[in-house]
């Protein structure tokens, strides 16, 4: 399985790449949004490092190609910022998101921002959470996703009374607001469950 991590140029992706690696999984880091979704890519990963505006700027040249690939069935997981890029736009910065999920990203309605540390996940529906239960996971976020249609939400969480999506799904695109690569063995198991699910996926021509 060829897994491509799209690099916004904003941070060290070593821990994420290490969590994804396996004897049958080849992980590559790609800075070109076109090449990130080329045919050789079986799974796309949008990591959780960086700010929305700069990340949107980096993917802008290949935004249409990446959006088409995701909507066409390319298994994709967006982590933290990567999940936020699934949406139309963000109050954090200028630039367009991928528009895979209608909605907007807004600042946490809380006194203590950013939220940094361990918090719960309340699954609603998704076989990934059955395959890899997550008692507590690690968050590091000041902004959260507000989908136009709550039916895309597969798990919720809450910080100081602000209830927001911990996970969303649109077809084969899965977004998580938490960092599974920093969530101990449970988080790594969740990433493995996602890759296992992706193996059964057939992309549209």
Distance (Å, whole) CA 66 – CA 64: 6
Please say if 80 is a catalytic residue. yes
User: DSSP labels for the chain?
Assistant: -EEEEEP-SSS--HHHHHHH-BTTBEEEEE--HHHHTSTT-SEEEE-S-S-HHHHHHHHGGGHHHHHHHHHTT--EEEETHHHHTTSSEETTBSS----SS-EEEEE-SSSS-SEEEEE--EE-S-HHHHHS--SSEEEEESEEEEESSGGGEEEEEEETTEEEEEEEEETTEEEESS-GGGSHHHHHHHHHHHHHHHHT-----
Question: Exactly one of 92, 145, 181, 202 is catalytic; which is it?
Answer: 181
Please say if 159 is a catalytic residue. no
Please say if 181 is a catalytic residue. yes
Question: Exactly one of 80, 92, 145, 159 is catalytic; which is it?
Answer: 80
Q: Please choose, from the candidates 121, 130, 135, 19, the residue with its C-alpha nearest in 3D space to the C-alpha of residue 77.
A: 19
Which residue in this structure is represented by tokens 């060290």? Answer: 12
Question: Exactly one of 122, 179, 186, 202 is catalytic; which is it?
Answer: 179
Residues marked as catalytic: 80, 179, 181
């Amino acid at each position: 399985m060829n897994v491509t991590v799209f690099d916004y140029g904003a941070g060290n992706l070593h821990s994420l790449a290490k969590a994804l690696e396996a004897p049958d999984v080849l992980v590559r880091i790609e800075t070109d949004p076109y090449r990130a979704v080329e045919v050789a890519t079986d799974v796309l990963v949008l990591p959780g490092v960086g700010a929305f505006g700069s990340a949107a700027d980096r993917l802008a040249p290949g935004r249409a190609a990446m959006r088409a690939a995701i909507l066409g069935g390319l298994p994709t997981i967006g982590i933290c910022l990567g999940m936020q890029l699934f949406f139309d736009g963000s109050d954090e910065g200028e630039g367009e998101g991928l528009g895979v999920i209608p909605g907007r990203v807004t600042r946490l309605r809380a006194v203590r921002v950013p939220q940094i540390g361990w918090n719960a996940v309340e699954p609603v529906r998704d076989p990934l959470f059955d395959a890899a239960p997550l008692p507590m996971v690690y968050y590091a976020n000041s902004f959260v996703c507000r989908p136009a249609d709550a039916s895309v939400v597969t798990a919720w969480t809450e910080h100081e009374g602000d209830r927001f999506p911990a996970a969303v799904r649109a077809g084969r695109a899965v977004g998580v607001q938490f960092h599974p690569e920093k969530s101990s063995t449970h988080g790594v198991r969740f990433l493995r469950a996602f890759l296992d699910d992706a193996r059964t996926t057939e992309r549209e021509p």
